[in-house]
């Protein structure tokens, strides 16, 4: 079992345990289990065996249910279960259940303990770690949320065995993003690019992903600056995702990386073109084909809502630059639109 500890500048700590079978090693007493319907169907027995007396509630699965209705239904169930300040909520599921459950735990009685047990590759390499919680609101992704670190995160590779290939691709999106922040992870992915669909290989990289994210979160848990690098590729990803919700988050991230590697070549002096082409190649292998996307005009309209933007007339981007290096850049909306159009014509 591997252990990663995050202590933030505000001295909040989160302990992350990674390994096969760590779900059964959860030490905390669970007062309530929150999951989704798919995970309950697959792992209901495993959950009941581990926590025989804890009430369980499953939200309907999927991003379209990451809403205020689901949040308030969960809070209602937590109240019915008479949770108290000292209670612990355990979230078992992907990034949707983890983000929503983390928010409910942070809100209930102004905050109760939350333990995350992520079950998708995306949630294991990214969303369960670092304390971002949220729901989507009025069509905007993650508009309502709070930073609230989970007390513990138990990352059990055994959950990944039932993941459909598309969900593996979603986790790969955030893994490729992390590789743009770490020369070591980039080299590992590039040298093993024929294994990007191989679950054994990818689950062996979970700890590396978490170390990369933890190093950033330790220094900037509240996204005052540096943490924006964890949104590499995400400005363009969210811009498309907001308009059409056909793909999953991780797939949009891969598309965002394809665009933003090209934007980096055009805007950052000294950017390493050969490396950026390799990064694009990784994103292409992971995606497997280019889906239809909304128009650049629609995407730029939605980019105006991006939480990272520093001013009303510019879009903020965290761009890949050289191996293990990124750069922040702001572009006027007109310039961003022109680039999305031009790059979109020769994206694949």
Q: Which positions are annotated as active-site residues?
A: 110, 132, 174, 213, 223, 227, 231, 234, 238, 249
Token pair for 308 = 């990272």
Candidates 96, 135, 129; CA nearest to 17 is 129
For residue 83, the 8-state DSSP code is: -
* Beta partners for residue 320, in sequence order: 326
Kindly state the smallest distance separating residue 341's Cβ from ligand NAD, in Å.
Answer: 26
Following CA atoms 329, 7, 12, 57 in sequence, which dihedral angle do they give, to the nearest 10 degrees? 80
> Between 221 and 240, how does the x/- string for binding to ligand GLY read (CB under 6 A)?
------x--xx---------
> Nearer to ligand NAD by C-beta: 167 or 262?
167
> Per rule CB under 6 A, is residue 126 in the interface with ligand NAD?
yes
Residue 35 and residue 56 in contact, taking contact as beta carbons nearer than 8 Å: yes
**From the list ligand GLY, ligand NAD, none, partner contacted by residue 231 (C-beta under 5 to 8 A by kind):** ligand GLY
Rule CB under 6 A: choose which of 101, 233, 250, 320 binds ligand NAD. 250
> Per rule CB under 6 A, is residue 282 in the interface with ligand GLY?
no
Token pair for 28 = 């905390």
Kindly state the smallest distance separating residue 75's Cβ from ligand GLY, in Å.
Answer: 24
> Per rule CB under 6 A, is residue 130 in the interface with ligand GLY?
yes
Q: Which stretch binds ligand NAD (CB under 6 A): 19-27, 60-68, 255-263, 300-308?
A: 60-68
> Per rule CB under 6 A, is residue 169 in the interface with ligand GLY?
no
Distance, CA of 42 to CA of 127 (rounded, Å): 21
Distance, CA of 90 to CA of 150 (rounded, Å): 10
> Per rule CB under 6 A, is residue 141 in the interface with ligand GLY?
no
Distance, CA of 117 to CA of 107 (rounded, Å): 19
Q: Burial, 45: exposed, middle or buried (Cβ in 10 Å; 0-12, 13-18, 19+)? A: exposed
Kindly state the smallest distance separating residue 260's Cβ from ligand GLY, in Å.
Answer: 15
Size of the site for ligand GLY (CB under 6 A): 6
**From the list ligand GLY, ligand NAD, none, partner contacted by residue 227 (C-beta under 5 to 8 A by kind):** ligand GLY
> Per rule CB under 6 A, is residue 178 in the interface with ligand NAD?
no
In sequence order, what DSSP letters do the residues of 103-115 get, joined into one string?
HHHHHGGG--EEE
For residue 314, the 8-state DSSP code is: E
Distance, CA of 22 to CA of 107 (rounded, Å): 27
Residues 6+ apart with CB under 8 A from 172: 121, 196, 202, 250, 254, 286
Residues of the shown chain interacting with ligand NAD in the complex, contacts defined by CB under 6 A: 36, 38-39, 42, 61-63, 66, 93-97, 99, 119-120, 122-123, 126-127, 130, 132, 142, 159, 162-163, 167, 170, 174, 248-250
Residues of the shown chain interacting with ligand GLY in the complex, contacts defined by CB under 6 A: 126, 130, 132, 227, 230-231
């Amino acid at each position: 079992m591997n252990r990663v500890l995050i202590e933030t500048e505000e001295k909040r700590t989160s302990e992350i345990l990674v390994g096969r079978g760590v779900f059964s090693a959860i030490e905390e007493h669970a007062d309530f289990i929150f999951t989704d319907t798919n995970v309950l169907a697959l792992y209901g027995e495993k959950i009941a065996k581990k926590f025989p007396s804890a009430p369980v509630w499953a939200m309907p699965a999927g991003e379209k249910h990451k809403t205020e209705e689901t949040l308030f239904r969960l809070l209602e169930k937590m109240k019915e279960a008479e949770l108290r300040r000292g209670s612990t909520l355990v979230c078992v599921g992907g990034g949707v259940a983890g983000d929503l459950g983390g928010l409910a735990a942070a809100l209930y009685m102004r905050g109760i303990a939350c333990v995350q047990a992520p079950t998708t590759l995306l949630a294991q390499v990214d969303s369960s770690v670092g304390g971002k919680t949220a729901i989507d609101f009025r069509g905007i992704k993650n508009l309502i949320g709070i930073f609230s670190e989970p007390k513990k995160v138990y990352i059990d590779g055994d959950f990944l065995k039932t993941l459909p290939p598309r969900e593996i691709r979603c986790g790969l999106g955030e893994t490729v993003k992390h590789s743009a922040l770490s020369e070591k992870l980039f080299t590992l992915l590039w040298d093993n690019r024929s294994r990007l669909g191989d679950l054994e290989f990818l689950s062996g990289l979970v700890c590396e992903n978490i170390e990369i994210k933890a190093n950033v979160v330790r220094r900037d848990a509240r996204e005052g600056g540096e943490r924006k690098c964890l949104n590499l590729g995400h400005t363009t990803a969210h811009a498309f995702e907001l308009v059409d919700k056909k793909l999953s988050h991780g797939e949009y991230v891969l598309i965002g990386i394809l665009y933003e590697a090209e934007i980096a070549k055009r805007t950052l002096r000294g950017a390493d073109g050969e490396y950026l082409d390799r990064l694009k190649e990784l994103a292409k292998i992971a995606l497997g084909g280019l889906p239809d996307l909304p128009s650049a005009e629609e995407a730029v309209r939605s980019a105006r809502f991006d939480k990272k933007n520093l001013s009303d007339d510019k879009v903020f981007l965290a761009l890949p630059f050289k191996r293990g290096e990124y750069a922040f850049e702001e572009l006027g909306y007109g310039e961003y639109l022109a680039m999305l159009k031009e790059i979109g014509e020769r994206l694949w």
